[in-house]
Structure 1
Amino acid sequence: MIISLGGTMLEFLAAYELPILRWLHIVAMVYWLGGEWGVFQTSYKVVNPALSLEERSRHMDTAYRIDIMARTGIISLLPLGLHMGYLWGVQPFGGGWLVAMWSLWVLWMAITWGAFSNRGKPLGKLLSDIEDWTRYIVIPLLIICSISSLLGYGPFLAGEGQKWFSAKMLTYGLLLILGFGLRLVMHEWRALFPILAAGPNPEVEARLDRSIKVARLIAYTYWAGILTTAFFGAVKPF
């Protein structure tokens, strides 16, 4: 009975592999866009000097709780997109390469959620630093591969009707840069709050005010870029 159920499940997954991946991709995109909006709105409370430090700290914790779902979506979009790209025939890496890719995704998620679960602790700081360093590897790799593919050198296929995939990967890589900038802003806030805990500090409040202004400009560009990336994936215009 168990073997029969297992076989039925595998048959179902094989038959609906692409639709399931597309569904997960949509869910990840929703968490990404919605999560970033939630963090942005919460951040106004974090930098509001009219509120008590305790209340601002609660809002910052809320921002981190929303942000972890956005980051889960961001990280998941990469293997989902590459997996679907293989099934669509626009990127050639399948088989063992996909297994390795999803294994790395599991490790990446473990680091990300470990950093979140241990935030404020030395282990959380270590895992957060490791997560930051993953961007230094992934971002250049995505941008270089995407531009190279659009120029016809691969590794992604970019023939007639296939360039949308490389364009999507390029905008995704650029968005990771903007997302990393917003992440650094949150790192700065966490570093400044212990200083505020010692008493009112106009200089720190001024730094928080400047950071939210910078973050606002980044966020607007970020959302436009997310919509553009989604457009490339949904419409496949070229």
Structure 2
Amino acid sequence: MNPYDIVLLIHILLFCYWLGGDIGVFYSSQFVVDSQLSRETRMTAAKIMLGCDLIPKICMSLMLTVGGILAHYLGVQHDPWQFVGIILLGPIWLTMVLVLHYYHNARYIPTLTKIDYIFRWIMIAVIATSCVYAYNSGSLDQAPWLTLKLLGFGFLIFCGLMIRINLKEFSVTYAKMLQDSHDDSDNQKMVRSLKKVKPWVVIIWLVLILEAYVGIAKPLFI
């Protein structure tokens, strides 16, 4: 296998584990909100859900870096500072994801959570701006489908932020469940929160499939 094949394989694996992991998270969440189950069973389901949730987050954090390297092999030219930024983005984003997951009780986590939230909005703005620049400058004329993939990725980040916003009730109630201080009204809040999230989750699945199609078909009409 040459370097391009290796990077392409990683790109495919990131897509598969992102979509598969996301489906696993949503499926296991149904057991977390099931008030007919015992608290111990629901807590076990929650551990499975949170463990699975790390996989899509890892895949998202690395996708732009891997995609940028693939674009380089396809002949898309980047300025040196842009390519360095693309290479560094994945490890930096991945580090933030892992710290938030494994050190969630550390004192600095609330601050890092806010940084992560702002960082994702900045990424959306940067992606949108870069697509406008690419369109005006013609830098992606040889691969116009990459513009659609970039916009799709930016929209995926936005969907993730909408999920985060709508999961606030779920998170608060889950914290009560950890302390065994939740009641029926809290259960209803969890169910309601999950219903708000469901449309965004389905949209993510559909956009990921669209992204995969664009990567395969490479349409030139964009």
How far, CA to CA, are the matches of 1:46 and 1:143 in structure 2?
36
- Residue 78 of structure 2, aligned match among 76, 93, 100: 93
Does the aligned pair in 1 maintain the 2:170–2:194 contact within 8 Å?
no
Return the TM-score normalized by structure 1. Answer: 0.82
Does the aligned pair in 1 maintain the 2:65–2:89 contact within 8 Å?
no
- Report the alpha carbon displacement of residue 234 of structure 1 after superposing the two structures with TM: 1.6
1:227 aligned onto 2:209: yes
- Residue 201 of structure 1, aligned match among 179, 183, 186: 183
Return the TM-score normalized by structure 2. Answer: 0.88
How far, CA to CA, are the matches of 1:234 and 1:17 in structure 2?
19
Percent sequence identity is 22
How far, CA to CA, are the matches of 1:213 and 1:72 in structure 2?
25
Counterpart in the other structure of 1:167: 148
Counterpart in the other structure of 1:46: 32
- Residue 59 of structure 1, aligned match among 34, 45, 66: 45
Counterpart in the other structure of 1:116: 101
- Report the alpha carbon displacement of residue 112 of structure 1 after superposing the two structures with TM: 0.9
- Report the alpha carbon displacement of residue 126 of structure 1 after superposing the two structures with TM: 3.3
1:37 aligned onto 2:37: no
User: CA separation of 1:220/1:207 partners in 2, compared to 1, >3 Å: closer, same or farther?
Assistant: same
Does the aligned pair in 2 maintain the 1:145–1:154 contact within 8 Å?
no
How far, CA to CA, are the matches of 2:56 and 2:69 in structure 1?
20
Counterpart in the other structure of 1:8: none
- Residue 25 of structure 1, aligned match among 11, 32, 36: 11
Give 3-state SS (helix, strand or coil) of 1:153's partner: helix
Which of the pair has more CA radius of gyration? 1
How far, CA to CA, are the matches of 1:168 and 1:143 in structure 2?
11
- Report the alpha carbon displacement of residue 23 of structure 1 after superposing the two structures with TM: 0.8
User: CA separation of 1:206/1:18 partners in 2, compared to 1, >3 Å: closer, same or farther?
Assistant: same
Does the aligned pair in 2 maintain the 1:47–1:56 contact within 8 Å?
yes
Gaps of 5+ in 2: none
User: CA separation of 1:54/1:71 partners in 2, compared to 1, >3 Å: closer, same or farther?
Assistant: same
1:217 aligned onto 2:199: yes
Superimposed CA distance per residue, residues 12-62 of structure 1 (whole angstroms, 9 cap, x where no aligned partner): xxx822111111101111111011001000110111111233332332222
Amino acid at match of 1:144: T
How far, CA to CA, are the matches of 2:201 and 2:90 in structure 1?
26
Counterpart in the other structure of 2:56: 70
1:182 aligned onto 2:163: yes
Give 3-state SS (helix, strand or coil) of 1:133's partner: helix
Does the aligned pair in 1 maintain the 2:32–2:43 contact within 8 Å?
yes
Give 3-state SS (helix, strand or coil) of 1:237's partner: coil
